[in-house]
Amino acid sequence: MKKTKGYKVDFAAKVITITKRFGKAAGVLGTPEFEVMQQLRKEYADYKVQYKTIERNENKQTYKHLTIDEMKRFLSTREDSQFALAQFARVENVVGNKKGKICNN
């Protein structure tokens, strides 16, 4: 997991950008994040504080409703369906009953 400070100071734009997690922790009296936020506000009193925004790709291709049965149905429509289904069965045996993403073991 990537560790970050939770905040970034942009001196040119006079903006302090904080993450949602850092902001939530900074709202609790006595936490280290609270102390850091107090220090940032004292040192950069005229800077604006804002939350970090996550840019989303609107053109991202998703595979909603893709199931094992749907994949088998698709493979059975191909010319080399017997070979494709045999390969898929081998992959199913390796993965087993795991849910979600395949683990890197």
pLDDT tens digit string along 51-76?
A: 999 888 888 888 777 888 888 999 99
Place of tokens 């609270």: 34
In this structure, are residues 17 and 52 in contact, taking their beta carbons and an 8 Å threshold?
yes
Tell me if the pTM is above 0.85. Answer: no
4 vs 16, residue with greater confidence: 16
If residue 50 lies in a helix (H) or strand (E), which one and from where to where? strand 48-51
pLDDT tens digit string along 21-45?
A: 999 999 999 999 999 999 999 999 9
| Beta strands at 7-10 and 15-18: parallel, antiparallel or unpaired | antiparallel
Long-range CB contacts for residues 74-77, cutoff 8 Å, separation at least 24: none
Q: What is the pLDDT at residue 18?
A: 96
Phi, psi (degrees; rounded to nearest 5) at 8: -145, 135
